[in-house]
Amino acid sequence: MPAHPSTKASGEFRILKERSVQRLGFGAMRVTGPGIWGPPADLDGARATLRRLRDLDVDFIDTADAYGPFVSEDLLRETLHPYGNVLIATKGGLTRHGPGLWRPLGRPEYLRQCVLMSMRRLGVERIELWQLHRIDPAVPAAEQFDVIGQMRKEGLIRYVGLSEVNVEEIRGAQKYFPVATVQNQYNLFDRQSEPVLQFCEQHDIGFIPWFPLGAGKLAGPESALAKVAARLKATPAQIALAWALKRSKVMLPIPGTSKVAHLDENVATAALQLTNDDYAALDRQGRSGE
């Protein structure tokens, strides 16, 4: 592990070719309780983790009003406000009814409320990147996109992102606003969003993979993942994250944690150098699922 881990080794991405962020960010979902509900068990540890972000040059943080709910946004303001050059991205459009329970709500008046309340909790006059957490199937997508586009024109939102969408849904949203980022589940072993990633590459849209550390049972001792990890003296999760960073220039992984040591470990991944042979072997293993 480098003496001073830094996200700067991951390179930069320019959101809509305007705002630069380091490609390795931080997901603030885990600074909450079990089931992403209520405060974290170790509140002081979570605060220390968030304060450590500046030391590691993290300048892209992803959160959501549904994390806690509200706990993650509140802790970010408490520990990091004013944010300086750190871009705080948040999300809205899901309601919470208990630990592990998530329900979409895309009525235009509710989405507007999500934005206004996130602004208040984060202590900002504009959300730099606001993402629709899910498209609500019970509300016409056009109505959801229209109110988001209106809020962008009003200056409440600078950039707009989508989460868990397909290519056609991105195209539909683009009629109402420029799509700056897409956040879908994606990792070495879960490639269901490959067509979406390819679309993002073609249109220079930031792709934010959630669960980027996915390694699971496929990190057996004879696997390519385990062999590369052993050679580079890294963990399988670090290698999975390094693969994601090498996979695409539009990739913006946001691994999350509530522990300082784990945060340092994740950020140290930015300095790992996979060879082309490493990447190819990992890619084959990920696609084969063995």
The set of catalytic residues is 67
Residues near 129 by beta carbon (within 8 Å), at least 6 away in sequence: 15, 87, 88, 89, 90, 157, 158, 159, 160, 161, 180, 181
Closest Cα partner for 132 from 153, 154, 155, 159? Answer: 159
Question: Measured between alpha carbons, how far is residue 18 from residues 21, 158, 180 in Å?
Answer: 10, 11, 10
Nearest 5°: the CA angle 135, 140, 141 is 45
Measured CA to CA in angstroms, residue 245 lies from 13, 23, 139, 239, 254 at distances of: 12, 8, 35, 10, 11
Q: Is 117:130 a contact under the CB 8 Å cutoff?
A: no
Q: Check: CB of residue 144 under 8 Å from CB of residue 105.
A: no
Look-up of token digits 């056009």: 142
Through-space distance between the first and last CA atoms of the chain, rounded to whole angstroms: 28
Burial annotation 269-280 (CB, 10 A radius, 16+ → b, else e): bbbbebeeebee
